[in-house]
Amino acid sequence: MGELDDRLLNDLVDAVKDLLQKERAERLRDVYLIGDIEKDVARSTIERLRELASEGRKPINLYINSAGGNVTDGLAIHDAVQEIVSRGIQVSIVVQGMAYSMGSVVLQAASPGRRLAFPHSWIMIHEPAKWAGWQSTTAAAEHLDRLKQMQNQIYQIMSARSGRPLKQIIRDTRRVDFYLDAWKAKDYGLIDDVIGGAARRLE
């Protein structure tokens, strides 16, 4: 009798473990990109995205609340998301708070129609010299070739996903930080939809 009870108990424990593991796998397909985009954040974000992609083909959600950061680290995250999307796995990117500077570039990597923002979120884009972290013309001049290449990469990403001409992107970001609330970001083409669209739109 004791052996039978032990076997039933073990079977029950195994069944509960399997159920919890299944629920966890279904529930935790969310990744959070919070704070400055730098090498450690980029590494952990990319590792988590790839881990989820290897576990199955169910959709992944990447939540952003970032003021931006390093250009190459941001582009690394962008490219990692794009690679997962190219495998046919849906990746939604959701702005929850802000996606400024390189955060706005990462946002553009989402699957078609899956660039989203909560109603009180903000998106900001600006010229690549600021993305690169070079505040002086002297420092920017030292890296002019690299700056031009980064500028072309970033403007191409923004233009391709927003549908706006390159000239407009360049004009709107020249010498200023171009801030858009969620609704204006949708009009501009930087996001596809506002989550909870019944919320009041800012005018």
HEC-encoded secondary structure of the chain: CHHHHHHHHHHHHHHHHHHHHHHHHHHCCEEEEECCECHHHHHHHHHHHHHHHHHCCCCEEEEEEECCECHHHHHHHHHHHHHHHHCCCCEEEEEEEEEECHHHHHHCCCCCCCEEECCCCEEEECCHHHHCCCCCHHHHHHCHHHHHHHHHHHHHHHHHHHCCCHHHHHHHHCCCCEEEEHHHHHHHCCCCEECCCCCCCCC
Q: Specify whether 143 is catalytic.
A: no
101 is catalytic: yes
Catalytic residue among 92, 101, 159, 162: 101
Q: Which residue of the set 104, 126, 159, 162 is catalytic?
A: 126
Catalytic positions, written as ranges: 101, 126
